[in-house]
Amino acid sequence: MAERSRLLWRCRRGIREMDLLLQQFVERYYPDLEPEAQQQFEAFLEETDMDILAWIMDRAEPGNPAYRTFIRQLQQINATQAPQDN
């Protein structure tokens, strides 16, 4: 429980929408990641908000190819939460 709380705290960023995406990632995907992937996700959280946002919005590619899986999953979360046009 302490690890989960620590990780959720690290997901708090300067942009509320990104906070929600990262926290949902932790809830949905993080527990099922292999230990190495969990470490890579924690390294991912060290990246700047602007870099993570650019990757999620497909405006840039991360230098670390391991991040691409996280980004796709974050994009899926975002797509399911986006308001639908009527």
Could you tell me the pTM of the whole model? Answer: 0.84
- CB under 8 Å, gap of 24 or more: what pairs does 70-77 form? 70/25, 70/29, 70/40, 70/41, 70/44, 73/25, 73/28, 73/29, 74/21, 74/22, 74/25, 77/21, 77/24, 77/25, 77/28
Residue-level pLDDT at 86 = 46
- Per-residue pLDDT of 20-57, as tens digits, reads 999 999 999 999 999 999 999 999 999 999 999 999 99
- Alpha carbon distance 36, 85 (integer Å): 39
- Tell me what the mean pLDDT of segment 4-24 comes to: 90
Domains and CATH numbers, the chain: 2-81 (1.10.150.250)
